[in-house]
Structure 1
Amino acid sequence: MKPSLADRPHVTRVLLPASNHSQWAESVADVVVDTEDDDDLTAVVAHVFDDDEVESTNENLDIEGRAKVDELASRKSGVNAATQRLEDAGIDTEVRGVEHEGEPAEAIVAAVDEEDADRLYMYSRKRSPAGKAVFGSTLQEAILKARVPIVVVPSNAL
């Protein structure tokens, strides 16, 4: 007899959006390693692409045809840095590429839902109030829209 979902142990899933900045990605991965119980944990390391970045990554990697976005994400330096830290700590890791047309925060929040993540880990970079007003804040939007707790790794964690 197949066990019901209620009988199966819950695997905690966390989502780490990783930019191309390896140090930021490593900092976030380090916080996951330090704060999560690695038993029954899966970390999903995601890179958010807009259409232009998908095309340029395909061209830069000289891939014939169009590669799957998960494959492209696995080639990003920030994703590799975070994945390596997590795997070195014995944490099960998956890589996802996430395409978006609008704001990156919307894609991140959608990925939280798609991956059924229990928590979201994000890096906070230092920005002036004027910079936030002009350029917006992916972190701020994610905090306002995500349905899960968010662990914010401060910029001085480097």
Structure 2
Amino acid sequence: MYTILVPVDADEDRARGQAAFVAELPSAETEIEAVITHALTKEEAEAPEEIRNVERISTVRLVRDYLKDHNVDVQLAEGQQPPADGIVELADEFDADQIVMGSRKRSPTGKAVFGSVSQQVLLEADDPVTVVGSREE
């Protein structure tokens, strides 16, 4: 099984882009497991346990449902703050083969440098990191 870590933020278009990328990979239905994660904010992480659930995040549900509709095996995992460190730790924990990050639209100058989380993950992860763009409904 090929394991892909899919860390999502709160942007639905980026989450759709990440989900579509994973679902469109060859053999996605039979050989890929996606681990969807979101780094809970300090407030979310300090909430009572019964409501401190990564599944409460709308983009996590969006990606989970999209991938399940495309017959991709899915797991959910709570990310830790700061987000980039949590992503790298989860990649190690789940022995991920790849990380699929979302990216926002940027100016030509801004394209030369990814966002701070994406850039830090690219620099620190031992696994291949793919950065994909947004996809609207």
For the aligned pair, the TM-score class normalised by the smaller chain equals 0.7 to 0.9
Deviations 1:79-133 (A, max 9, x none): 0000011000000101111122xx3111111110011100000011134568x99
In structure 2, the CA distance between the partners of 1:36 and 1:51, relative to structure 1 (3 Å rule), is farther
In the other structure, the counterpart of 2:57 is 76
Counterpart contact for 2:14–2:133, Cα < 8 Å: no
Within the alignment, does 1:151 sit opposite 2:134 as a pair? no
Tell me which amino acid in the other structure corresponds to 2:49. R
In the other structure, the counterpart of 1:140 is 119
Q: TM-score, normalised by structure 2?
A: 0.85
In the other structure, the counterpart of 1:111 is 90
Counterpart contact for 2:9–2:15, Cα < 8 Å: yes
Within the alignment, does 1:23 sit opposite 2:4 as a pair? no
Unmatched 5+ stretches in structure 1: 1-10, 59-64
Offset of 1:44 from its aligned partner? 0.4
Query: Alignment partner for residue 14 of structure 1, among 4, 22, 43?
Result: 4
In structure 2, the CA distance between the partners of 1:22 and 1:154, relative to structure 1 (3 Å rule), is closer
Offset of 1:68 from its aligned partner? 7.5
In the other structure, the counterpart of 2:103 is 124
Counterpart contact for 1:22–1:79, Cα < 8 Å: no
Q: TM-score, normalised by structure 1?
A: 0.74
In the other structure, the counterpart of 1:46 is 37
Unmatched 5+ stretches in structure 2: none
- Determine which structure has more spread, i.e. the larger CA radius of gyration: 1
Identity of aligned residues (%): 30
In the other structure, the counterpart of 2:49 is 66
User: How many pairs align?
Assistant: 132
Cα distance in 2, alignment partners of residues 105 and 12 from structure 1:
22
Q: Secondary structure at the match of 1:15?
A: strand
Counterpart contact for 1:51–1:99, Cα < 8 Å: no
Offset of 1:35 from its aligned partner? 1.8
Deviations 1:45-100 (A, max 9, x none): 00111322323xx4xxxxxx42385xx11111000000011000000101111122
CA RMSD of aligned residues (A): 2.2
Moved more, 116-125 or 103-112: 103-112
